[in-house]
Structure 1
């Protein structure tokens, strides 16, 4: 008998995934469908795949998942015995070299290089994943008349210069220097959205778009994102030391809330209407995010400190340091965030600790 997801992942991960599957959505639309997930080794994609497979376990949904990955070795480390299930198969290739994997009904396009390290060291690979990769996905969708959900980004909004916004709605458009390689990711995502609109218009492909905020959750120790570094500090029983005042004010959303939002847009969203994914309770400064990581485990007696004494003073939150997304449009579909920053930090760190 095939092993169930609850028997193949740690208990805390299982609880996380169950919280997605239990959302009140028209899941039956996915029954007996084949769903391609690009970038399936990513930590958001991992939770999407597990949620779909858990639907099969609980509801006998007959969903077939194809995970597109660049590295079979990394996928084997990430998924383990889950890869032995008949409802999950791997397709090992770069999204820019995507060919025909057979009939698919849905494509969730999450493959991209979203790390600042890649922007600096592989800008060509970064923009190609968003341009060529997205085109390959759309061509496959045309062939099979598949529905597409594309992961865009808050980075598409750009800068609002002398007229900063306290929060960004989907229709807002700021300045991006298209001659700078540093914008390989942001400009690539903008262009990918236009590509989606073009294919939707010309070929009638139903494409839906999400623009996630800063997403956090269980990750690998080598992750260079600031929230991940805070988690590693706590795992290592180290105080968190900031080299700045930690003033940037950003929207953070826990991975399970994010995945629930993705499925909400996929199943309830309008075609070619981008949806921000953010949590009102997750609007927080970097400094307070560090505090939340420390506070999640009071028994460790960790503290937050600053390299420069002048940074100890609480910074003033102004629109100029904001990266806050307005999620009203998403919430109108019936979605709401369920995980607070404190709870999310604790859960993620506990899951990471259990993997050691």
Structure 2
């Protein structure tokens, strides 16, 4: 049996949705994990169950400022990822993507650490290619309300590749497509969390346009497996790697499925499409299949059931705390 090589691993944005699941997995594998977060969208609740582990450490820090630690690997996940949160303070969003990447790359250069950059499918913008392959350059509005995130992540990718070429750093870039699961922020404005919260509270589910636009949803456990496989790949890919579920579903069908699985009596309300909202978002994952032997395995119904159960418990615990306050 292959012996574990215990590594010192930094996870920025580690108290967020994806970051907390990643920290949990790495701690379970026996690595020393330093979780860094400024708690803008992340929460201590997401990692509270890890605090008693000797190989887990939590630090409040904003990646727009330099960080001086000794680590072997860096997962740079720090950045608000939902439109509501990244558009609230767009200047800070760009700073987090760009300055954060500069600071983490500088740290990686100093300690010769491997770095995995969490990029996004939003680098493809309102894509004219479908599905999106990694060699597609995208169709992005550089001055729109979403550009703080889209262009910030594109610039971070540029920085990563330049550090790789100029300084010989071991860089891996994951272009993450829509991911869902337990610990999503209940007010993040993303499709699954919106639909589930609305269904469980009896509100009408908000569908934009006529609901025929499509997305692909990857369950969080599958995504975390992909990130770890990408970091652990013996040969670093020469270019970004898409990580997501290639099976498309329309927004209207997603809403109907959430209503059915949650047992909700909610209606569906149609509203105008947001500015620059992409019509289709679907990854080609052939590169991940070939290089990482990775593809998602969790069905949408199974993932949604787990997500609905988690949000149901969250709502119940919030009500219980409110009742106790009175």
Q: Does the CA-based 8 Å contact 1:212-1:276 persist in structure 2?
A: yes
Residue matched to 1:84: 52
Match of 2:297 among 324, 333, 338: 338
Q: Does the CA-based 8 Å contact 1:131-1:192 persist in structure 2?
A: yes
2:260 aligned with 1:260, yes or no?
no
Alignment of 1:90-169 (within 5 A): 90-101=58-69, 103-160=70-127, 164-169=128-133
1:176 shift after superposition: 2.4
2:38 aligned with 1:70, yes or no?
yes
Distance 1:182 1:81, change over 3 A: closer
Residue matched to 2:158: 194
Residue matched to 1:174: 138
2:245 aligned with 1:279, yes or no?
yes
1:201 shift after superposition: 1.3
1:264 shift after superposition: 1.4
2:55 & 2:200 partners in 1: Cα distance? Answer: 35
2:274 aligned with 1:322, yes or no?
no
2:311 aligned with 1:352, yes or no?
yes
Residue matched to 1:47: 21
1:35 shift after superposition: 0.2
Structure 2 unaligned blocks of 5 or more = 273-277, 318-326
1:326 & 1:170 partners in 2: Cα distance? Answer: 8
Superposed CA deviations along residues 115-162 of structure 1, whole A, max 9, x for unmatched, are 2124433111011111110010001001110000000111111235xx
Distance 1:180 1:295, change over 3 A: closer
SS in 1 for 2:175: strand
Superposed CA deviations along residues 83-141 of structure 1, whole A, max 9, x for unmatched, are 1221011221101113202x100000000122212443311101111111001000100
Residue matched to 1:221: 186
1:73 & 1:82 partners in 2: Cα distance? Answer: 18
Q: Does the CA-based 8 Å contact 1:37-1:67 persist in structure 2?
A: yes
Structure 1 unaligned blocks of 5 or more = 1-25, 57-62, 312-319
Residue matched to 2:211: 246
Report the TM-score, using the length of structure 2 for normalisation: 0.87
1:305 shift after superposition: 3.2
Q: Does the CA-based 8 Å contact 1:38-1:111 persist in structure 2?
A: yes
Alignment of 1:291-306 (within 5 A): 291-297=256-262, 300=263, 302=265, 304-306=267-269
